[in-house]
Amino acid sequence: MFDPSTRFLVVDDMGTMLIVLRNKLKELGYHDVTTAENGYEAFALLEKRQIENPSEQFQAVISDWMMPVMNGLELLVKIREDERFKAIPFMLVTAEGEAKSIQKSIVLECDGYLQKPINTEKLGRLFSEAVQRIKMRQRAAR
């Protein structure tokens, strides 16, 4: 699991899903949650925080896959291409269940993938799996 003080950026174009994710995070003991309605807005928040308060940068991103303006996969690519943000754990949440899509997200170094509907247990499992993937990626980079 992530540290309880982890600063999350949650991205979804549906207000109800943002509320659900925020509540599930609170149930797991996480209280520092900022939301964005699409990938473009999320990346702007990452950049703004980097400029204004880099010591308070987001420490994990949970993003819906299918969104207007910039979808979750496009956001993942943009984050992984940017030296400032590429190490931030990134997890996708979606109704998409196609194996080909999941494989594409893994190739792009997505740290976790969760299918809707979301419950607290599934979210906790996602975090545990993401932490393991991050550790494996860090070992491989050495």
Each residue's pLDDT tens digit, 60-94:
999 998 899 999 999 999 999 999 999 899 998 88
d(CA 32, CA 5): 7
For residue 67, CA distances in Å to 43, 105, 118 come to 14, 15, 17
d(CA 41, CA 51): 15
Each residue's pLDDT tens digit, 8-67:
999 999 999 999 999 999 999 999 999 999 999 999 999 999 999 999 999 999 999 889
Give the per-residue pLDDT at 93. Answer: 87
pTM, two decimal places = 0.89
CATH 3.40.50.2300 given to domain 7-141? yes
d(CA 64, CA 18): 10
